[in-house]
Structure 1
């Protein structure tokens, strides 16, 4: 499902109105003709479509992500698939005011980069990497990863953000990332390692064990790499349940 199939970012259009448009065959911006809704709302939708096309020409999906509920931001993915950055961090604890970020991994365009505290993990590097992404994807990053980075590195993450935890919940997929991976059959390197192990590995590295850092980095990288197939599965299933189910019933 692409952004051009969506009408809920328009002020005054909720899921019910959007569904009614789809049921009447208006499943794409190109098909909107002002019918089905009142004149005022029709004018608002037309203006939104005109502005929206200009945003998409620039590869900017921020206005759509900002206007959509968290559980619906997955709709932005298809438009900027190759420019989506999957991010995951490891820390020494859960409180950004007294704990540290140890590693940050980013997966985009088939390439995974990992930055390590005390080596190359800096505010400038993070800002540069995130500015190059059209869309940020995390799992529970809205409540954890992004605020943690903003607090510890004094940065403002403004990249449009899809937190996969919310569309997963829409599909009835509850629990942590690894539990959902198992349910969906997504394989993982080092499946027995946990977040607690990540803290332990960092402290072992601080005591001089370079092999512990290698394991920590690989664990962190696995999280970001596995979010890509998770995003593909989630968007496909939601496309079918949210969009195709209505269009096929016409």
Structure 2
């Protein structure tokens, strides 16, 4: 196995040596270290460029400051950590990461040529970007990135659970190296962003969130993400360094936006009554799924009081169902009673169930079902499948009448 690995290193290093003269012939551009603040590192595994910068905690990035995240209670992230919702998530113990790749695939042919990693250190947020100048230097990049990952207790990314981290795991596996982190707990900010704003914003892409929620305006240094694989190819084959400096800017901005996005999301979740413009129904469901019932109830109440009629109706429905699940039947019934003059059959069915099964009052249950059938016939109740709803109500009515001996 070691012999095979040595041959792989030799083959990749050969590619690097072949491309270097070509880069010098085709383009005479400044070396990377003159365009990006950083330095070259030489390891037994190869060479890697490290760009490193520290930002003060009061550094603004859009409408937020980087240090705003430190004021977010750690427990608010529990619903978004998958099976590790009970894991500690201290901002000083986690790393933010983002990778730039040679393509969008997740197979063996896709490389992570730039790995950006950020973490809070003392009174700063420190950003490190590891760059491999050619394919033969990949192991050096992986070694340096591994040191940062291994020193963390958790990960933060944007869509990294589906793309960035699985791809990194693949790269380490191909080099016969264990991944430097178990991959959990992992806060993928795309999940809470969708929970909060999916029904409010046309897109939850990071660029859209920067524009609509964070007030981040990228400069002309930025490059579109879809061009980045081509720009790296030009760097390797033709020595073009100037566009690569723009890729460093793109990656760094992504990471800083993750920090302020986490701050924005965390404060919204921690104080939902002071959080206009988010999807409280989705937020409540996220809380409820993790057993955070009081927070879920608070979110559903906020939705129920929305000026948006559809959101308010969904909020009241979810609120009643959660109260029922918690055994707070009287509170749930009060919500359903208030909804009887609306255009939803749901409160009639829920109240009928309560009277039939819990209160042992089939006569009152029958009156509710009859009223629902009448309103359905007159078109006063809206539902996706009126015929199916009518059949269900008729079946319930027949059972109640048998019970009453009618």
TM-score (norm 1): 0.65
**2:233 matched to 1:203?**
yes
Aligned residue number for residue 158 of structure 1: 182
Quote the Cα distance in structure 1 between the aligned partners of 2:233 and 2:74. Answer: 44
2:204 pairs, out of 150, 172, 175, with 175
**2:147 matched to 1:128?**
yes
Quote the Cα distance in structure 2 between the aligned partners of 1:209 and 1:194. Answer: 17
Deviation per residue, 1:98-121 (Å, 9 max, x gap):
221111101112111001124575
Give the superposition deviation at 1:200: 2.4
Aligned residue number for residue 29 of structure 1: none
Aligned residue number for residue 214 of structure 2: 185
Larger RCO of the pair (alpha carbons < 8 Å, separation 6+): 1
Please say which structure displays the higher CA radius of gyration.
2
Structure 1, gaps ≥5 residues long = 10-63
Give the superposition deviation at 1:86: 1.0
Aligned residue number for residue 138 of structure 1: 157
Distance 1:176 1:7, change over 3 A: closer
Larger relative helix fraction = 2
Distance 1:83 1:127, change over 3 A: same
Pairs within 5 Å for 1:1-250: 2=73, 66-68=83-85, 77=89, 80-97=90-107, 98-109=109-120, 110-117=125-132, 118=134, 121-154=140-173, 155-156=178-179, 157-159=181-183, 160-173=185-198, 174-190=203-219, 193-206=223-236, 207-241=238-272, 243=295, 246=298
SS in 1 for 2:197: coil
Give the superposition deviation at 1:146: 0.2
Distance 1:228 1:245, change over 3 A: farther
Aligned residues: 188
Aligned residue number for residue 31 of structure 1: none
Quote the Cα distance in structure 1 between the aligned partners of 2:205 and 2:73. Answer: 27
Runs in 1 of length 4+ with deviation above 4 angstroms?
3-9
Structure 2, gaps ≥5 residues long = 1-71, 273-283, 285-294, 303-406
SS in 2 for 1:215: helix
Note if contact 1:188-1:222 (Cα within 8 Å) is conserved in structure 2.
no
Distance 1:5 1:161, change over 3 A: closer
SS in 2 for 1:96: coil
Give the superposition deviation at 1:141: 0.3
Note if contact 2:77-2:266 (Cα within 8 Å) is conserved in structure 1.
no
SS in 2 for 1:114: strand
Give the superposition deviation at 1:96: 2.6
